[in-house]
Amino acid sequence: MHPLQILMAKWSSPLFQGHNYKCNLCGFESKKLRSRGHDHPVIKIKQILSAGKRRSDCPRCLSSDRDRRLWLFLENNITPQSQILHVAPEYPVALKMRKLSESMGFQYHCIDKRTPGYYYPKWVLNGDITSLNFPDGMFDWVIANHVLEHVPDLKNALIEVKRVLKPSGKAIFMVPISQSHPTQEGCELVNGEWTCQLTKKEKIEKFGQHDHLRLFGTDMDQLFKTMGFDLIFEQYESLTIDKNQHQPLALFPNERIPIATPQK
Ligand SMILES: [Zn+2]
């Protein structure tokens, strides 16, 4: 997210002021949220969570429904001694984590696969989830949200995350998930390299986004078991519903946080 986008959002946010929603990242109270996403038929057909056109973004800090759910989880689970790696960090969450790391004393590292034409803050170092530049057993937490659906070699990414996690460590892998279909893989091994042969149009039709290489589904926990992780799904939104059943964080309904623990 470019600083100019944040500045523009801050500047225009008074237009959204109200009391229907309250962002847990910046504290802004709004009458309505900004919109995001695209509507493709597959999103409804495959009941994909955390996808589709919707009003979900905080008018001031531009946090998404996913960012606010992640923050709800992190602020309840991070401890002062933690070592944390955040891959492709969500900007509003990363800013909050950097601030909190100073007061709480945990170590917070951000990496992303730097791509020409995109903006990255200088504290986001260049890095690749399939070849992590960190020693074995370093981290208590690895956060890699909306990353695994973009990585051709899923197995290698999970091997690397497992390698850098402490035996007691955990990984957060939020991804778009179909509630009705099993996982559909878009990559195959060609001459020893994992490659996706689908066109952008085919990816949109099958997975709901032009740069997604697979769509995780109802068998996600079994798939992860075959790759060395036990998966549980945490649901946090019940914590935030008020007595009138109103959801001030506007979280995506039924979305859960996949928490992966390395198998011994
Ligand atoms: Zn906000």
**Domains contained in the chain, CATH given:** 40-51+65-235+256-262 (3.40.50)
pLDDT tens digits, one per residue of 194-244: 999 999 999 999 999 999 999 999 999 999 999 999 999 998 766 666 666
pLDDT tens digits, one per residue of 132-153: 999 999 999 999 999 999 999 9
What's the pLDDT score for residue 175?
96
What's the pLDDT score for residue 244?
64
For residues 174 and 143, is the Cβ–Cβ distance under 8 A?
no
Residue ranges with CB less than 5 Å from ion ligand 1: 23, 25-26, 28, 58, 60-61, 63
36-52 mean pLDDT: 91
68 alpha carbon to ligand 1 midpoint, in Å?
8
The rounded distance, in Å, linking the Cα atoms of 235 and 232 is 10
Dihedral sign, Cα of residue 191, residue 173, residue 90, residue 45: positive
Q: Which amino acid is at 53?
A: K
How many alpha carbons lie under 13 Å from residue 213 in its C-beta half-sphere?
A: 15
120 alpha carbon to ligand 1 midpoint, in Å?
20
Which residues does 221 contact at the CB level (< 8 Å), separation at least 6? 230, 231, 232, 233
pTM as predicted: 0.93
93 alpha carbon to ligand 1 midpoint, in Å?
10
The rounded distance, in Å, linking the Cα atoms of 104 and 26 is 18
The rounded distance, in Å, linking the Cα atoms of 94 and 31 is 25
Per DSSP, 14 falls in state G
Residue 112 in tokens: 């992303």
101 confidence band (pLDDT: 50, 70, 90): very high
11 alpha carbon to ligand 1 midpoint, in Å?
13
257 alpha carbon to ligand 1 midpoint, in Å?
20
For residues 70 and 145, is the Cβ–Cβ distance under 8 A?
yes
43 alpha carbon to ligand 1 midpoint, in Å?
26
